[in-house]
Amino acid sequence: MRIDEVVTVVDSLSREELTVWVESGWVRPRESAGEPEFDEVDLARVRLVRELRRDMELDDEALLLVLNLLDRMHGVRAQMRRLAEAVSRQPEEVRRAVFGACGFAEEPPEG
């Protein structure tokens, strides 16, 4: 999806505003033929930035902080998912030892 398409599907968003967001690194679409190409994840982030800017009235500094924290949290969740998958492939005795060392009474729920 190109910039003009994103502006069409996201309410109250101008091309100039979206361009600033991309230049600021708040939204990071991939480049295709020298133009930003937005996927569904990028579109969700555009909507998030719009909500944080307009509805919550965050200034640039606060917005950057929130986006950085969300990115870090997303990264940690991905790491935890990989760790949980690795532990789940271990023999039962190893799984129990890991869960016990983490202070879990039983295997934590998936998710």
**pLDDT tens digits, one per residue of 54-103:** 999 999 999 999 999 999 999 999 999 999 899 999 999 999 899 889 88
Q: What ranges do the domains of the chain cover? A: 1-57, 73-111
Write down the pTM of the prediction: 0.75
Residues belonging to the chain: 111
Instruction: Give CA 9 to chain center in angstroms.
Output: 20
| DSSP single-letter state for residue 89 | T
Residue 44 tokens read as: 């969700």
Nearest-CA neighbor of 43 among 22, 63, 59, 68?
22
End-to-end, the C-alpha distance of the chain in Å comes to 30
